Every structure is written in structure tokens, then in C-alpha cells.
A and B are shown apart, each in its own frame.
Chain A
């Protein structure tokens, strides 16, 4: 299937490969740099990611809304199966390529200022390696390569979460993330195996392309029939479950979402790039790649899970005190939106939201990073024992960090989905389509759009709470240190440039010239699977307005609660508050039930190992010991004893004869006399 490419096409592929390969080069250079090279490594990575972004932009320009480009080469052959490796550039991958590099660029610049210079080599090795695996994941065309880079992305995320590996909590967090992701990986692997068993190919184009094998397969009479064979229908569900597990683990969906908040132990810049903008979007990306294989039931399932996760995470975010954890739960919530959008056939909106979310969530994390950085400086300067990430310690930062404040505000407005921001376009698109989707279905389906609508309101509340607690009111540390002048600022240029850049990207003009209509966003148009004109239903006007009004009302309520110090509606001891504060007890449940069960099982196995296997070996050992003891005894006392006896005998005889050879003349004479006398006596006797 090696196709001869046009010159221009092969050039595009070269650019794509360059975009993917450059970060790897940077990672290798950083790995080889001497440990004390300071900030050189950071700038190498930043420059390569910039070049990578330029290449990605060229690729994007030539692929977007043109024909998809697919080129591959034979990789290896097993039996009759030829496995190809290649590059698939279509709208989705070209867009992801650009998105990842463009998000990574400000994060790289930010990191050069954020990470201590002696740690930069290691940090940028990991970070560039992550960029490489993520970009490769996006462009590859085969399920096997996809799986490989899927794993590599998880691995580099593991490395970066545990970047400060001397902290116990970071080590715990990266282990948790890794194990959770393994569960998903098993799902993906089993899905790939099932798909291969059914279709005999790993090729994404052959599988999911238009007129691909998946399109031509049907489910009839409980059998899953494809051109290449058939198998019971249940396997199709297993494959879906596998894909879903993979997506849930990578994109932090219920029930595998608990690793993401813990992953905030990593450096904040990492959280911004990996755990908010790119890697967690890999799950949504995977859904986009394998989208054609889902049946209607399975899509409903996705919608329900996505909606539930969005709601769950939003309620948890309401009461968290850790700045980064709030953002992490908000990420989970927004990912829930994307998954749900996939489930309700709003494929384009989902990817659109992915893009906008990447920008504003990255922005929010970088702002959080600046704030935490400053608080951390104060903490170290005055040797305080406070938690630098606790929003209860902040407050009133509005005047001290004006740029950060504005950037955070823009990010938050986009997160809530207020007009003139990118979030408004994408989020309202999802909401409108959710309502349209539920139209004409049974009452139960209404739960999803209504749930997601309520979630939007909750989002507005926790976002407002965050803003008010961090930027308004009095600076809480002032109360702790009344006499010291606390120096807090926006930080260096390395912090400011990325913030400004991402703030601009979070506003509407990047995506659409019409700030009120998501359908005119070029991204949305590029992803629309079918060109059917969406009916101008009433929702298009009602939803955005009601969302905005609701958000503003809720934000006002939060203002009255947190700035005016009015009483909370829920007391802190109420059940709902506790439920939210303890993250719905999901972690506790996992710890109680699953971890305990696993521990119990391992203890049982340990006991089995100890008592039965080891016992058997011990018995064997005892028997062997006894036998060898016996052999040793025989050897020592019988064999050695006999030899000893012989030697003693020889020695005795020798000594006896030696006694005569005293060297004294008189003895010789005496013995001679004795001998002569003896001869005479014998002679007399005989």
C-alpha cells in the first residue's frame, strides 16, 4: 500500500515528521548535556518546540479542509499479516499536532522560568520526551503504534508527576496515576486485539476510514459480521468496553478519575501541559479516531458517563481548598463535557471544546503556578509551615499581581462560558446540541442536558469562589506576618509572555469572528462530519442567554458568600458539604474496597507463598540438610577416620623407628649390644 506521493504531499509528511521528531532530539540532547549546564537545556527544548510548532502550522495549513494524507511503509510481517507503520494526516491529527505544539510552546517558555536551573536538564528531558510521544500518538496510523505511544505518553506523565521524587506524596501520586493508566492500557490492548481478530488489520484508515471495514460491518442476529469474518456480538461490546476503559483512564473519567487530582503533585507547568491541555485530551482524541465503531447504545453510555463525571467533578470542585485540585476537578468536569459531546453525536463540538479548553485550562494552570510560586517564595523566606497551594492562605492578590489576575479572570470566564470567550463558543455548542439531541427522545434522556446545564451553574460557583478567595478580600498571610512587607509580583518575563499569549488565545477571535455563534467557528466547521444544516431551534437563543444569566447570578451569589462574608447556604458539617469535600468518598471507597481486596488477595497469596510454597521448599531443604549431614558424618567419621587411622599407624611406625636414630653414638652402641645379646639369648633358647 505504498502510495507514490506528490511532491507537495511528501513535503508535508516531512514537516509532520519533523514536528514529531524535533522534541525527541531535544530530549536526547538534554539527556546528554552535563548536569551543570544550567538553563541551556530549557532553551534548546523551547526552541525545538517552537520549530516543531512552525512545522505543525505548515502541516496544518496544507491539510486542513483538504484531502487527508496517508502514507505508510511495511514495518514487519508475521505470517500473512503485514504490519505497516505510517503517518495519517487528516483534519483531526493536523489540528491536534498544531494544538499540542502551540500549547507546549508557552509552557516551555514558562518552565524555563519556573523550574530551578539545576533541575532543568532532567525536567526538559522528560518534557520534550512527552511532547514527542504525544505528537507521535497524534499522527500515527496504526493501532499498534498508537498503543505504543499511548503507553509512552503515560510513562512520561508518570515521570513528570514524580518529578520531585523526594516528596512522598509525589511518589504515591505517580504510582497511582501509573496504575490507573495501566487499567486503561489493558482495555485498549484488548480492544486492539479484538479488532484485529475481527478485521485482520491494525490500520486506522482501513478500519475507520470512510468505506472502511468498520462501516461495512453489521450486527445481525447477535452476530458481529464483517467482511473478514464474524464473531458473537458480545465481543463488539468488549471492544467498546476496552476503548472506554482506556479513555476513562487517560481522560480521567468516572470511575478511573481519581489519579488526576493526585497528579497535581507534579510541577504546575506539567499540570498545565499534560494534565489539563494535552495528555488528558488523548482519550477524547482516541474516541475521535475510533468514533465510527460505536453503536447507538454505546454512545448513550458515553454520554451518561461523561455527564455524570462532569457533574461529579464539578460538585467536588466546590469545596476543595487546594488551588490546583480545584483546577484538576474542573479539568475532569470539562473532559466529561467532551466525552458527553462525543456520546451525543456532537463530534465537532467535542473537539472544538477540546481545543478551547486546552488554551484556557493551560492558562489557568499557569496562573496558578505563578501564584503558588510567589506564595512558596514567601513561605521559604519566612519559614512558614503553610500549604502554598491552599486558597485559604491567599486573598487580595488582585492589586499585587494585576496581570495574573486579568489572565485568570479571562481563563475563568472562558471556563464558565461567558460571551466573548472561546469557552462560550464551544461549551454552549455542546449544551445546545445536548438539548437538541434529547428532543424527541424519552424523558430519561432529558437528564443529560439538564444535568450538564446544572453543572454549568456549579462551574460558575466554584470558579467564582476561586477568584474571590484568591484575588479579593484581604491577603491572609498579612495576618500571619503583620510586620513584614510581603513582596508579591507577577514574576519575570518568562511567566508573563505565556500568560498574555494564552489569554489572547482564550478569547473568541482566534476561533470565530462571530462571538455568539459556535457554528461559524472554523474549527467547528472543519470537524463537522456531515454538512447538514442544523435546524435553527429555539435552543440556539435560549441556552446561551440562560447559561450566561445563570452563571452571573451564581457568581454574584458566590461574591456575597465569599467577599461579603455572608453565611454559607450549606454549613460545613452538612452531609452534602462533607460528601463534596471528601470527593464523594470515591477514593475512600477504592481504598476500602478495591485496595483492601487487592491487599487481601495479595496477603492470601503471600500466605500461600509463605506457608505452602516456602513450606514445601523448607521441607525439601530440611531433608537435603539432613541427608547432607548424614553424608558429612559418614565422610568425617568413616572415610576420614579410616584414613586417619592409616596415617596414625604410619606415623607410629615411623616414630618408633625414628626413636632409634637419635644420632647418639652411645645409643647405637647400646642397641648393637642389645641386638647381639638378643641373638645370643635366642640362640641359647633354641
Chain B
């Protein structure tokens, strides 16, 4: 339940926020929701602590990807003088 709520809040944040940093926070929320799910569902797994272990890996990966994403945001800001994802539409070409 918590994870589902967290996921929903995360997706809402991703879709509605005007700031790339907030979008990034939203992504982290969804990721955390997924990790929470993994820990929760690990209880039903036959292998002990596999979920927790996987979650640790996922956290590390999430940190790495966040770092990369922040770097991208920084570059985007340098190029467009804005970090509002609604105003950046260069992907359409």
C-alpha cells in the first residue's frame, strides 16, 4: 500500500512538475516505491534476503543514475537557460 501510494505520488510529480529537479525527485520516489515493493515481496521469496540484496543494488544504481541525471540537467540548463521540461521540446525533431 505504501509503495503503491509512493509510486502514484512519484508519477504525479514526474508528470506535473515544472522543474527538472522535482521531476528527478519524482523518479526517485517511483524507484524507491519499486525497491520497497522488492523488499516487501522478498518475504514471499524462497531464497532468503534476495529481495533486500537486490534492493541494495537498485539503490546504488539509482544513486548513479541520479548523478547522471543531475549532470544532464546541469547541461540542459547551460544550453537552454531553463530546466522546465515543458519548455524543452528539442526531442521532437
A residues whose Cβ falls under 8 Å from a Cβ of B: 661-666, 668-670, 673
Contacts and interface: CB of A to CB of B under 8 A. Distances in A.
Contacts of B14: 666, 669
A662 B15 contact: no
Given A669-B14, A669-B15, A673-B11, A663 B89 contact: yes
A664 B23 CA distance: 13
Interface in B63-91: 85-86, 88-91
A601 B89 CA distance: 85
B93 interface: yes
A679 to B, nearest CB: 16
B15 A664 contact: no
B92 interface: yes
Contacts of B23: 665-666
21 contacts: A662-B92, A663-B88, A663-B89, A663-B91, A663-B92, A663-B93, A664-B85, A664-B86, A664-B88, A664-B91, A665-B23, A665-B85, A665-B88, A666-B15, A666-B16, A666-B23, A666-B85, A666-B86, A669-B14, A669-B15, A670-B15
A663 B15 CA distance: 14
A463 to B, nearest CB: 110
Contacts of B93: 663
Given A665-B85, A669-B14, 19 more contacts: A661-B92, A662-B89, A663-B89, A663-B90, A663-B91, A663-B92, A664-B85, A664-B86, A664-B89, A664-B91, A665-B23, A665-B91, A666-B14, A666-B23, A666-B85, A666-B86, A668-B91, A673-B11, A673-B15
Nearest to B23: A666
Interface string B12-27: 0011100000010000
B12 to A, nearest CB: 10
B interface, over-half SS: helix
Q: Which 6 residue pairs of A and B lie closest in terms of their CB atoms, listed nearest first?
A: A663-B92, A663-B89, A663-B91, A661-B92, A665-B85, A670-B15
Nearest to A673: B11
A256 to B, nearest CB: 94
Output the residue of B11, B23, B92 with the most chain A CB within 10 A. Answer: B92
A664 B93 CA distance: 11
Interface of B: 11, 14-16, 23, 85-86, 88-93
Nearest to B11: A673
A164 to B, nearest CB: 82
Nearest to A670: B15
A217 B66 CA distance: 134
A562 B13 CA distance: 132
Nearest to A660: B92
B32 to A, nearest CB: 18
A586 to B, nearest CB: 97
A662 B89 CA distance: 6
B28 to A, nearest CB: 15
Contacts of A673: 11, 15
Contacts of B89: 662-664
Contacts of B86: 664, 666
A666 B91 CA distance: 11
Contacts of A666: 14-16, 23, 85-86
Contacts of B85: 664-666
Contacts of A664: 85-86, 88-89, 91
B63 to A, nearest CB: 21
Contacts of B11: 673
Nearest to A665: B85
A661 B15 CA distance: 16
Nearest to A668: B91
A663 B92 CA distance: 4
A669 B86 CA distance: 12
A658 to B, nearest CB: 9
A662 B91 CA distance: 8
Nearest to B17: A666
A3 B57 CA distance: 135
B21 to A, nearest CB: 14
A664 B15 CA distance: 11
A670 B88 CA distance: 16
A662 B93 CA distance: 9
Contacts of B16: 666
Nearest to B27: A669
Contacts of A661: 92
Contacts of A662: 89, 92
A669 B16 CA distance: 11
A670 B85 CA distance: 13
Contacts of B92: 661-663
Contacts of A670: 15
B3 to A, nearest CB: 17
A673 B92 CA distance: 19
A664 B88 CA distance: 6
Contacts of A665: 23, 85, 88, 91
Contacts of B91: 663-665, 668
Contacts of B88: 663-665
A634 to B, nearest CB: 42
A593 B15 CA distance: 105
Output the residue of A662, A665, A668 with the most chain B CB within 10 A. Answer: A665
B91 to A, nearest CB: 4
Nearest to B90: A663
Nearest to A658: B92
Nearest to B91: A663
B24 to A, nearest CB: 11
B84 to A, nearest CB: 10
A640 to B, nearest CB: 33
Output the residue of A661, A662, A669, A670 with the most chain B CB within 10 A. Answer: A669
A673 B10 CA distance: 13
A664 B14 CA distance: 12
Contacts of A663: 88-93
A665 B14 CA distance: 10
A364 B93 CA distance: 104
A663 B76 CA distance: 14
A394 B66 CA distance: 126
Output the residue of B16, B88, B91 with the most chain A CB within 10 A. Answer: B91
A673 B14 CA distance: 11
B82 to A, nearest CB: 13
A667 to B, nearest CB: 9
A669 B10 CA distance: 12
A678 to B, nearest CB: 15
A670 B15 CA distance: 6
A165 B91 CA distance: 84
A661 B93 CA distance: 8
A200 B85 CA distance: 110
